[in-house]
Each structure stands twice: as C-alpha cells, then as structure tokens.
Structure 1
Amino acid sequence: MSLTFHGQELLSDTTLELNSGRRYGLIGLNGTGKSMLLSAIGNREVPIPEHIDIYHLTREMPPSERTALRCVMEVDKQRTMLEREAERLAHEDAECEKLLEIFERLEELDADKAEVRASRILHGLGFTPAMQRKKLKDFSGGWRMRVALARALFIRPFMLLLDEPTNHLDLDACVWLEEELKSFKRILVLISHSQDFLNGVCTNIIHMHNRKLKYYTGNYDQYVKTRLELEENQMKRFHWEQDQIAHMKNYIARFGHGSAKLARQAQSKEKTLQKMMASGLTEKVVHDKTLSFFFPSCGTIPPPVIMVQNVSFRYSNDGPLIYKNLEFGIDLDTRVALVGPNGAGKSTLLKLLTGELLPTDGMIRKHSHVKIGRYHQHLQEQLDLDLSPLEYMMKCYPEIKEKEEMRKIIGRYGLTGKQQVSPIRNLSDGQKCRVCFAWLAWQTPHMLFLDEPTNHLDIETIDALADAINDFEGGMMLVSHDFRLIQQVAQEIWVCEKQTITKWKGDILSYKEHLKSKLIDDDPQLTKQMHNV
C-alpha cells in the first residue's frame, strides 16, 4: 500500500498486515503520519473484510442530555450488526469459531449484563457512581473523551484503533487501562508515547520509518533490542560490501590494461562488481534525527525559594476542601513528581505555587527574585496561530534582534527549516508543543512546573526533554501519566490525596505496583483477567 496526504507521501509501496489476537504498538517520529494511517484503516480506505467491525477512537463524545452510563450502554447498532453477521455465517455454514465469537459478544451486550459491565469500565476510568449518572453536557472535554474510550472498551470490536488513549488519564486510570487492554483478544492498534504502556500492552510493534512499515515481535523493550541487533548486522554487511567494492575498483584501475592474464582477472572482477550492484547493496543505517532540548542557565538564589505554611484551599466558600494545612518548602534542587487520582488537586497545587490561585487559609512565601515557568495543556491556546514560530518568538523576545540567532534557539527544540517560517496553525500538535517549550525556556525560569508535558510528543522528544530536565540547574515539579519520564527525572514522589500530600517511600515503579494491587482488591473481574493472562 501507499498513503498520501495533501500531496505528501507518508507510505510508499509497503505492506500492512494485522492479525487477530495481536496487540500492535504503532510508533514513529512526530509527523510521519501515524494518525493518518489509523484514519485510513478506520475509514476502510484499505481493503478490510466486511465482517470485521472497526472502532476508531478519534474524539470525545459530544455534550448531550444523556448520562455517562447510558451513553456507554447505547450499542443497539452494534447488536443489530452482530445479529445480522451471525445469521449470515449460520446460513453459509461458516467456521464454527467465528460464530462462537459473535455469540460471545452478543452475550456481553446483553441488556441484563450491560449495565454492570458499563459501570465497571467507567469506574476503572475514574468515574464515581454519582459521575456515571451525570449528564454529558456537564463534563469537560477530557472526561467526555474517557466516556468515548469506555464505549470502545464496552463494544469490544473486532478491530480497535486507539490514538494516544492515555492523554486524558491520570496514573490510576492508565494502570487500569493497561490491565484491561492486555487481555484484548482481537486486533488492537495503538499509538502511544508511553514506553511503559506499550511494554505492558503490546505483543507486536510496527515502526513507521522512511515511508515503510517494519514489523517486530514483542513489546517496546524487545523492539529496541531487536532493532539494535538488526542495525548492527546491517552496518557490518554495509562495511564489508563497501570494502569489497573499493578493493575491486582499485584492482580494475591498476590491472585493467596490464598483461592479458591480469586484464582477464580485472574483467572478471568488473562482472562480479556489476552483479553486486544489480542485486542491490545493503543500505547504510540512517537514524531518526534526535534533538536535544535545552533550558538556559537560571543562576542561583538562596533557599528557601518557596515556603508553604499551613495552607488550605477550596474553590468556593461552600465547596469541598481540596487541601488542608499543607506545610512544605521547595528549593532549586527539588525534583518532585506529583501523583494521585484525578481531582486530588495536582494541577491546583501548581497554580497555588505560581500565584494563579490564592490560598483560602495560610501563606505561600516566595523569594523575591524567583521566576517560575509553568507548562500546561492550555499553553498552546496563547500561541498566535497566524504567526510563524520565528515571528512569534521574535515578538515575545524583542531583545533578540538577529533572526539567525532566534533560528538557532528554535532549532534547539526540533523545529527546523520550513517549520520555523510556516504559520503555527499549520504545525502538528507535537510541533506546537515545541514552540511552547522554546517560549518557556527563554524566560530562564528558576523553577519548572510541568503539567502533562508529554501529550503530543513522540518517544524520542520525551527522552530529549528528560535529558534537558536532568541538566537543568533549577527546581522541578512534574505532573505526568508517563511512568518512564517520572522514573527518569523525579527524585521524590509526592502523593496528593485526601486533602494532604505525603511522600511516597519507594520509586514510581513501586507506586505503580501499589496501584495494581489496589485495582485487584477493587475489581474482581480484573483479578480473573490477570489470572487468565
């Protein structure tokens, strides 16, 4: 197959192969066309047998009067389709296995069991019983996205296509989803920037690279290992061939016009060389361009940088208390990841520390010279979409007069050539994130507050971000659903829960194990699934 989008060739003469019972992780750099490939499959622009139903999770559920629970259970269309298919297969006297699978799915969609199953899935994705009965129009986009994800899991289609399903989830829901998907029996194709998640769910990896699809068996770690071995062997072969060619060319040049015997040998070598060239030479391994992020030197300020003294906070006078009597300090050597369920107040805490919100009680004292850079999901909304990244940065930092100097600065964040001068609205989400990082870094903050910085970034960019954070001289507080990033940069884990903050005694992976064991206690269905797996 080949795939073209707006005249740009994303795939050229490659093979798409998906097998039942496999869970594929689709990976590749930002902008290679992973989401476009998923859309092409979802829209059946590639030949897919009709009996295979596809659910492609693309957007959140629209606001409506229906409750979250009702929305997940409404699958009558699905039931009708399956009944028709069962009838057709029975009529054709088709394979027994296919029929059994359809009857199994019809049983799952049975109205008596439907409510229990729908409720269990919503609970796993963070919905309390009260929230399950709340109308969709009363939820934010992120929560409506979770409802759409719950529908996909409830329907259990023959082919499930998920594009960054963890983007709107907290760590608890990520762990639940990982456990849920690792028992998916049909075809799953998943785009994710979280290596940890890919490791937990995938049986195979598809790498989209150089307009081709390359297939690897095993999870993400296995893919990295196999790819390194293959590339090593490829380079050995490449060097051997190049040495042979150089040797033969040298011989032909020296003895091609010598004595009859030597000339004959030279002609023979020339024929061997032509054969080698005709049968195709081994290509040199070309690595994906990796970039390095950079946070400029911020200088030092003596501790304490920020002191939180007896702070309590609620959003309104009669609203629930989010925090009660918080007491802690942070300095330039702070490296903390904030974890805890959705709604526990992780983002709220960062807003309190920056001064965007004021405590209801208590006091937050900040050093008079401290500069705080906060990265959050709505930072993209402040970009001027009609300007190019170069124009936008020149406008924000007028003290940098030279265009060439600004080009170099933006280049540090992986925006090169045309991307620097195209209107920001034409950039992908991942590229817009990079403009935000460039803008943030050049404020030279002493403290970095990063709220879900990995959404829309590819794996390579996340690694570059981790390196830059580790090289940064200032302090850092992180909210993320990416276990691997937390593992790379955080020295302490703080759990936000029940109006307070407690330090976790182990690392982030021991916290993940704690969440898993909590899930098992909570959800007997998962215990059974884990046992089966």
Structure 2
Amino acid sequence: MIRIDNLTLQRGTKVLFDHASATLNPGERVGLVGVNGSGKTSLFALLLGELSPDGGDIAFPPTWETAHVAQHTPAVDRTALDYVLDGDRRLRAIEARMATASAAGDGHAEAEAHAAFADADGYTAPARAETLLLGLGFTAAQTGAPVNSFSGGWRMRLNLAQALMCPSDLLLLDEPTNHLDLDAIVWLEDWLGRYPGTLGMISHDREFLDATCTVTLHIEHQQIKRYGGNYTFFETQRLLQMEQQQAAFTRQQKQIAHLESFITRFKAKATKARQAQSRVKALEKMERLAPVHAAAGFSFEFREADAAPNPMMVLDGVACGYATDAGPLPILPHVTLSLQNGQRIGLLGANGQGKSTFIKTLAGTLAPLAGTVRHGKGLQIGYFAQHQLETLREDDTPLQHLARLAPDTREQELRDFLGSFNFRGDMATAPIRPFSGGEKARLALALIVWQKPNLLLLDEPTNHLDLDTREALTMALAQFDGTLMLVSHDRHLLRATTDQFLLVGDGKLQAFDGDLDDYRDYLLQQAAAKRAALAGLRTPDSTSPATDAGPSRKEARRAEAEERQRLAQLRKPLEKDLATVEKNMAALQADKAEIDAFMADESSYAEANKAHLLEMLRRQAEVTEALDTLEMRWLELQEQLEQIG
C-alpha cells in the first residue's frame, strides 16, 4: 500500500501540495492528472526518493522494487540488448556473483549463484529483452546495434524497455507514449494489461489512460483527490461534482441574501430585534461554500478558406523518397492518389515506413523522385511537421512570427488574433525561447490557422500538447470544412476527426478496411507472429497470433474481426449522414434562438417593425418545419445504427 499523509511540498515560491492525502492499494493502476505545473512529476520524484517532502509523509513497503524510465541515456558502445538487460538489476548482481566466484575458483559459491540465476529466469532474459525491443518498434538487427547509434527518440524507447525489463512491484511511467508511434503504443498497452504490480502513469493520451488505468488521482488546488475509475469516469464525476457544488453555492447565496435583507429591515424594530439578532448569529456560524473556479478551457476554430478546389491534389505515379549522393532512395515507389474536398484521412503504419515522407511530399517540402503532383486551383496547405517547433525562431516573439505572414495587417488585429490563442499582453511581445513545448505548439497552430488552409497535413500535432489543448484541437478539426490528412498516435484524436484510413507499409500506400479497433487487433496479431518467430515456431499465417488455443480460436478471432469490419462498413455512411444532420440542426437551432429572442422583445410588435415581424414569422415557420424534418431523420439514423450494433 502507498500512503500519502498530509503531504506538503514547495518548489521555489510555489506550493504544490498543502496537507494532501491519498491511499493506493497494491496492484492498482493509477493515472495521475492535473494541469501542467500542478505537481505530477514532483509526486513521482517523491516516490523515487529524489525529493523530500517539506511536511507530512509518503510511505510504501521498503521491500518494493521500483522501476521508472530514465530521462537520459548514456552514449555507450554496448548493444541495445545488453542495455535493456541492465534493467533487471537483480539478474546483473547475480551475474557479478557468478563471475566473482568463478574467478576465485569457489565452486560452492558459483553453484549457488547459478541456482539463483535460474530462479531469476536468467536463461530466458535475453529472449524477454528482445521481445520488449521488438514490441517497441526495434528490428531484430537493431537489438545488436550500439546504444550510441540511436537518435534521441529511440534512446527514450531503450530507457522504456529497460524499465519494463525490471521485475518491479511499482512501475512509474511519465509520458511513456511521447516517443512512440501508434503501433508501439498498442503493444505497450497490451503489455501493461498483464503487468502484475502497482502502476503509476502520467499521460496526456486520454485513450491510453482509459485503457490502462482503473484509478485516477487528480491534483488541483494543492490537493490530491482520488476517483475510482479511468480518465473518462473521472471527467464525468468531476463535472457532476462541479455542477453540484455550484448549485449548492447558488442556493446558499440566496439564503444569505434573504437573511441579510431581514437583518437590514428589522434590526432597528423592537418587536423584530430579537429575530434579527438570531439571524446575525446564523450568518456568523454558517460555513461559507466556495464558488466553482474552473480554469477557462482553451478553444479555437479554423477560419473559413477562400476556396474549395476539388480535387485538392492529384498524385500520378509519384515516387516518395530522398535524393542521396548514392542515388535516389524511394520509400514509397509508386503512389497514385486523388485527394477530394472534404476527405478526412488518418495515416496508419509503423515508424520508418514512410508516413512522414508521404506527408512531406504532399506539403511540397520534399520533391517527388518521379511522377507528377497537380494542385487544385486555390489550394492553400496548412502543414504541421513532426518537428514543427524547430522551425520557429527562438529569439522572435509571437507577434513577429505572425507579422511575417501578414506584413500589411494592423498590429492590433494581429494582437487580437494571438490573444485568441492565449498569447495576450506581454506574452505576445516576448521571445519564445523560454516558452514551454505546449506554448510553442500552440503558436505553430495559430500560424497555420491564420493562413486559412483548405488542406491540412498534420504530422503528430499533439506531441507537446496537454489534455485541454488536445481537446481544443480535436474540436477545431472536427468542425474544419476542408480536407484533412492526419498522422497521430492519439487514437481519441483519430477517432473524432477522421473517417477513413490509409496504411503505409512495405513500400505501399493502401486503404485499411476497418476502424482503429480492427487496427489494434491487426497489430497484436503481428506482435504475436514476431514472438512466435523469435521462439523458433513456424506459423502457417504470419499475420495470425500464435496461441495455445489452437486453430478454432484463430478462426473465431478472424471471424470476429471480419464481422467488425462488415459492421464498420455499414455504420460509416450512416455516421457521416448523422454528423451532417447534427451540424444542420445546430445551425437551425441557432436561428430559432435568434427568432425566439426577437419574438420575446415587446418592441418587435411596434408598427414600425411590422414588415420585419412578418419576415421573422415566415422564418419561424420555415425553421420549425426544417427542424422537425431533421429531427425525424436523426431518429431514423439512430435507430439504424442501433440495429447494426
């Protein structure tokens, strides 16, 4: 059990925890949430002993082995496999005992060390380490490559594999999906589902939190509040509690106003003085409730584009790749594609298969090696690259970045626009160097929105965004009227903003016939096939998982996947129609509200407004009839979707 008792912690002048308490039970899977800077990472540091509390206590069993992901990777020559094996500290200690006993010629000690090695599953350790590396996206050849040959993102994957290799009682993961693609996230999610210890997780990926965590700790106002459910459950419960708190506060304010009014009116009257005095005492004893102070959620929307070409772009026999000194290096040697207005496409596929290369070719930052790319008239591309933040100028201000795009626009108009992205006051004219990754990503999004794109090409746009900004991006993309192509490991974003998928792999770009649940099944089957190959097993179907359940179980899974794909195909057109109906209903309801407000105004019935009144009455009838028709259609679509299941 982990017990947090009256914890107090101050970092600099900022108080992170003020007599906060919480309890976690062994084996629980805990998601830690709160705004950036609320103290999530500091709480992990306290659990790891890297920080000491200013007051109170954090306690858990001293025998527990704790594992966490190191933030730095030494640039060593040792192989990736050896580096991951270092995560099992007990095993490395036993190996050291074996070497010492062997060097000393102590046969008895060597025998004991060999027995301990077997008890620690030492003989299977290399295979387990290799499984971790393969699951996180490394190839079999890369497991033998030196650590210093990998880039920063891949080194963080090595650190994650090393933490998973440790046989731990408590596993602490701080943003583990930041350097992973969707394939590796699905594998990690499956691995964590089998982890037997206590799990602590900090993540901005809500679907990952939902899938892996069963308890949520929310840090707010220097306190820790426990919710017995995943992130979605926490959001629902917190909203309900905030509504109840605000309702109770409103009732109390009415009661206070009534008491104060009575006291004011009757305190000077002899016959009522006693009653007035009793109400004064009641006010003094009343425990005042606080109003709800919820942080204002950030939101934005894309500006309406100046044109809507169709098709947006046509690729004819295009080879996507790189020109090298040794000659052209095609990644996707032959792509023929027509991008239509209004399409919403998600790109799937493992890292290194060509997703970013394809996006760069569409964006025009990478010239095609062969073939032709034709743009529709009036095409305006909004491109967010995977390393977009590196294109920003660190010593320039947000205002200077925007002014370069709009040199003829008044400064006040630029300031107003930046203010809508929370760059207000001095922040608009401050150099961006000290800005957080999330603030820089928000600026990059603002620059794209300003250009009024009709084709959005987004390559991992959520990498530096917190949950609130991710939700704002999701809502904005859902309402975007143009064409969208998205690469993201955030499944919530993909589900909410795309309606078809293209799979990039083995040098090809092809349609993926299914949804993200089908893709998850596909990835798990691929992972199982890798494990089988690693174990030297032969499987008749390389895409099917090797299990102990035999052919019948394989066939059942395949049938289930096929049925899901069939239902998905039936649902897609209905869901698209439903979204259109809901959008039209929202517009009509806004019109109805405007008309109702006009009708409720007495001045609307004056003789001077007679013509306008007649026009509004006509509109009212039209809007009511259109709403009735749409509501009937909405009900029909809902019934059809329910029948499909």
TM-score range, shorter chain: 0.7 to 0.9
* SS of residue in 2 equivalent to 1:127: coil
Structure showing greater relative contact order (alpha-carbon pairs closer than 8 Å, 6 or more residues apart): 1
Q: Deviations over 1:122-154 (max 9, x none)?
A: 111111211111222222211111111000111
Cα pair distance change 1:282/1:382, threshold 3 Å:
same
* SS of residue in 1 equivalent to 2:78: coil
Q: Deviations over 1:241-287 (max 9, x none)?
A: 22221222122222222243x222221222122111xxx32222222
Between the aligned partners of 1:239 and 1:417, the Cα distance in structure 2 is: 33
Mapping 1:39-78, distance limit 5 Å: 39-42=45-48, 43-46=50-53, 47-48=58-59, 50-75=62-87, 77-78=89-90
* SS of residue in 2 equivalent to 1:29: coil
Paired residues of 1:27 and 1:208 also in contact (CA < 8 A): yes
Identity %: 36
> Partner of 1:327 in structure 2?
336
Cα distance, 1:71 vs. partner? 0.6
> Partner of 2:21 in structure 1?
15
Structure 2 counterpart of 1:384, from 387, 393, 396: 393
Paired residues of 2:347 and 2:502 also in contact (CA < 8 A): yes
* SS of residue in 1 equivalent to 2:351: coil
- Structure 1 range deviating more: 320-329 or 112-121: 320-329
Aligned residues: 505
Cα distance, 1:396 vs. partner? 4.9
> Partner of 2:233 in structure 1?
222
Please tell me the residue identity of whatever aligns with 2:384. Answer: Y
> Partner of 1:38 in structure 2?
44
> Partner of 2:482 in structure 1?
474
> Partner of 2:32 in structure 1?
26
Cα pair distance change 1:390/1:207, threshold 3 Å:
farther
Cα pair distance change 1:36/1:371, threshold 3 Å:
farther
- Structure 1 range deviating more: 29-38 or 217-226: 29-38
Between the aligned partners of 2:45 and 2:505, the Cα distance in structure 1 is: 39
> Partner of 2:293 in structure 1?
286
Paired residues of 2:308 and 2:482 also in contact (CA < 8 A): no
Structure 2 counterpart of 1:3, from 3, 6, 9: 9
* SS of residue in 2 equivalent to 1:393: helix
TM-score normalised by L of structure 2: 0.72
Cα distance, 1:207 vs. partner? 1.5
Between the aligned partners of 1:359 and 1:272, the Cα distance in structure 2 is: 79
Work out whether 1:273 is the aligned partner of 2:279: no
Paired residues of 2:22 and 2:226 also in contact (CA < 8 A): no
Cα pair distance change 1:21/1:235, threshold 3 Å:
same
Between the aligned partners of 2:217 and 2:476, the Cα distance in structure 1 is: 28
Between the aligned partners of 2:305 and 2:51, the Cα distance in structure 1 is: 52
Cα distance, 1:527 vs. partner? 8.8
> Partner of 2:435 in structure 1?
427
Cα distance, 1:457 vs. partner? 0.9
Paired residues of 2:460 and 2:487 also in contact (CA < 8 A): yes
* SS of residue in 1 equivalent to 2:68: strand
> Partner of 1:241 in structure 2?
252
Between the aligned partners of 1:53 and 1:217, the Cα distance in structure 2 is: 25
Q: Deviations over 1:293-320 (max 9, x none)?
A: 2322221143222111112344356787
Please tell me the residue identity of whatever aligns with 2:183. Answer: D
> Partner of 1:495 in structure 2?
503
Cα distance, 1:522 vs. partner? 4.9
Work out whether 1:372 is the aligned partner of 2:410: no
Between the aligned partners of 1:345 and 1:125, the Cα distance in structure 2 is: 18
**Structure with greater proportional helix content:** 2
* SS of residue in 1 equivalent to 2:190: helix
> Partner of 1:393 in structure 2?
402
> Partner of 1:90 in structure 2?
none
Please tell me the residue identity of whatever aligns with 2:370. Answer: D
Paired residues of 1:20 and 1:186 also in contact (CA < 8 A): yes
Cα pair distance change 1:422/1:149, threshold 3 Å:
same
Gaps of 5+ in 1: 84-104
Please tell me the residue identity of whatever aligns with 1:215. Answer: R
Paired residues of 1:20 and 1:185 also in contact (CA < 8 A): no
Cα pair distance change 1:225/1:21, threshold 3 Å:
same
Between the aligned partners of 1:395 and 1:176, the Cα distance in structure 2 is: 43
Cα distance, 1:523 vs. partner? 4.5
Q: Deviations over 1:383-440 (max 9, x none)?
A: 22233333443455433332x4323212222334554344322222111111111122
Work out whether 1:363 is the aligned partner of 2:369: no
Q: Deviations over 1:460-485 (max 9, x none)?
A: 21111112122323221100001110
Between the aligned partners of 1:74 and 1:22, the Cα distance in structure 2 is: 26
Please tell me the residue identity of whatever aligns with 1:272. Answer: A
Please tell me the residue identity of whatever aligns with 1:307. Answer: V
Cα distance, 1:442 vs. partner? 1.9
Cα distance, 1:224 vs. partner? 1.7
> Partner of 2:266 in structure 1?
255
Please tell me the residue identity of whatever aligns with 1:245. Answer: I
Cα pair distance change 1:244/1:106, threshold 3 Å:
farther
> Partner of 2:413 in structure 1?
405
Higher CA-based Rg: 2
Please tell me the residue identity of whatever aligns with 1:45. Answer: S
* SS of residue in 2 equivalent to 1:12: strand
> Partner of 1:174 in structure 2?
185
- Aligned Cα RMSD in Å? 2.9
Between the aligned partners of 1:420 and 1:211, the Cα distance in structure 2 is: 29
Between the aligned partners of 2:369 and 2:531, the Cα distance in structure 1 is: 37
Cα distance, 1:359 vs. partner? 2.5
Paired residues of 2:69 and 2:162 also in contact (CA < 8 A): no
Structure 2 counterpart of 1:162, from 166, 173, 177: 173
- Structure 1 range deviating more: 431-440 or 507-516: 507-516
Between the aligned partners of 2:486 and 2:285, the Cα distance in structure 1 is: 58
Cα pair distance change 1:389/1:18, threshold 3 Å:
farther
Cα pair distance change 1:29/1:405, threshold 3 Å:
farther
Between the aligned partners of 1:345 and 1:148, the Cα distance in structure 2 is: 25
Structure 1 counterpart of 2:162, from 151, 169, 178: 151
Cα distance, 1:159 vs. partner? 2.8
- Structure 1 range deviating more: 174-183 or 197-206: 174-183
Gaps of 5+ in 2: 1-6, 96-115, 536-544, 554-645
Between the aligned partners of 1:116 and 1:508, the Cα distance in structure 2 is: 30
Between the aligned partners of 1:506 and 1:148, the Cα distance in structure 2 is: 33
Between the aligned partners of 2:23 and 2:424, the Cα distance in structure 1 is: 34
* SS of residue in 2 equivalent to 1:362: strand
Between the aligned partners of 1:370 and 1:351, the Cα distance in structure 2 is: 16
Structure 2 counterpart of 1:264, from 263, 268, 274: 274
Cα pair distance change 1:51/1:485, threshold 3 Å:
same
Cα pair distance change 1:364/1:228, threshold 3 Å:
same
Cα distance, 1:512 vs. partner? 2.7
Structure 2 counterpart of 1:186, from 191, 197, 200: 197
- Structure 1 range deviating more: 166-175 or 32-41: 32-41
- Structure 1 range deviating more: 320-329 or 442-451: 320-329
